[in-house]
Amino acid sequence: MIYDTVIVGAGSAGSILATRLSEDPDHHVLLIEPGPDYPDIDNLPPEIKNGVIMPIVDDPGNPHNWDYRGRGTDVSDPIVVPRGRATGGSSAINAQIYLRGQPEDYDSWAEGGLDEWSYTKLLSGFRRSENDLDFGGDFHGKGGPISCVRSAREDWLPAQEGFYEACRAIGYADTADHNLPDSTGVGPLAFNSVDDVRISTSIGYLSSARHRLNLTIKADCQVHRVIFEGKRAVGVVAESGGEMFEVRAREVILSAGAVVSPQLLMLSGVGPKDHLEEHGIEVIADVPGVGQNLQDHPLVFLSWNTVPDYDFQLDKRRLQLSLRYTATDSPDRNDMIVYMNSAITERTERGGRRNSPIGIGMNLGLNMADSRGEIRLTSTDVTDQPLIDFNYMSAPRDLDRMRDGLRRLAAVGEQPEFAVNVTGRATPTDAILDDDDALDHWIRTEATTGHHISCSNKMGVESDPMAVVDQLGVVRGVEGLRVVDASIMPTCVRANINATVIAMAERMAELIVG
């Protein structure tokens, strides 16, 4: 059989594309996922179903986590990079923060020539995908596949309440809804989980489409490369149960994420010519931007020791509130974010024992980093993890803003509303905080991933030499091949990226069908 569309990866984008494209009963779609498939909520393992914590990070051998490692800086230890391995992709294992970027993020894409990707055009994707249980109006969706909800004030944990009051005392604005286009300040985060059940794209989208005769979901099946005839993609080579086979299609869409989509392109002969030749790969198309422009939101963690008998309430969500603000002298609105963490655990940032709390903390994130990294092949075997080099803090302004942010948050921690819960700050120490050189070294050593890997197959106009796809996701230099996932963002948005990836998939489906 020749499928109309083969989609590689049933994650945040792939599940949506499969759902939307198969709405046409004459369009036959094959969705391939290397991880297992769980067709409904009742079949979900606890670590995927649970909507409160991320236990998969504690278990490197978990079958639902690719368990990658990345390079942060030249002085940091290897960074744990969890990626989802199941239908739903990373939406099946993430922290479920459902936060939109700033309108300026999307408008900058349009101003760069991608006129189909302005905020107003992407808003339909946000609204169509969303079922906001707290807010309505022009900027929110009701009845969409992905439900989201915020913690009510009466359910805020003591550390969250103290953080909120301390931020307000210093002068940060109150924001009840971080997803309004002009929001800034401190307030509750929206989460795509209801009654502690995670609403992944598998649950939200695929569950409504599984009955369709024109949609086939093939789980536990790993794609090794795209098949080309000349410059046209005509299918994929895949493996299932130890058996290799070919699948033919009129179009192939890679939705394998910002790590694997560039890896598959390069293994298939599409990428930087010199790099492909180093690995003995036949060059189908010399596309220098594949694997380049990698972006993320680096995090560092401030921690405080708690007062005796502090009640950590580990059965409740540890992240409830967030502060978004603009760094000193920055022209970029809300380029910084802070997640208040009601339970800092041993080496939380590198996947430590999450149920052994040692304090409370604030996670400081650089939401609009200038630094750029890359994805590179380490071998021609798709099962070998590619190189993930984040290259954090290589841009001087990134260090400046992180240094400024750490000192801001230390001041928040000194406010009596927050200090009532703690006996003192544990990290970074005053000696480090007061010394620019020492603080810079601490940041470069401690910076870790915000789990928002993106932009490694950037979308761009024809004149951009580093663009990998056009605004319809079509890969440069070939035919019959698209990429639709976080990798095609030109720049990383100022927010947790899952809501944006979902809206992008909705928008791309709209453009493909239209």
Q: What is the edge-to-edge ordering of all strands in the sheet holding 146-150? A: 130-132, 146-150, 190-191
**Contact between 380 and 280 (Cβ < 8 Å):** yes
**Residue 396 buriedness (CB in 10 A; 0-12 / 13-18 / 19+):** exposed
User: CA-CA distance, 60 to 512, in Å (whole number)?
Assistant: 38
User: CA-CA distance, 112 to 470, in Å (whole number)?
Assistant: 12
User: CA-CA distance, 291 to 293, in Å (whole number)?
Assistant: 7
Crossing angle for the helix pair 119-129 and 498-513, to the nearest 10 degrees: 100
Which tokens in the block code for residue 396? Answer: 């001087």
**Contact between 239 and 228 (Cβ < 8 Å):** no
What torsion do the CA atoms of 318, 323, 324, 329 make, to the nearest 10 degrees?
-130
**Contact between 374 and 291 (Cβ < 8 Å):** yes
Catalytic residues: 452
User: CA-CA distance, 42 to 505, in Å (whole number)?
Assistant: 26
Taking only Cα atoms into account, the Rg of the chain, rounded to an integer number of angstroms, comes to: 22
- 3-state SS string for 381-422: CCCCCCEEECCCCCCHHHHHHHHHHHHHHHHHHCCHHHHCCE
Distance of alpha carbon 168 from the chain centroid: 29
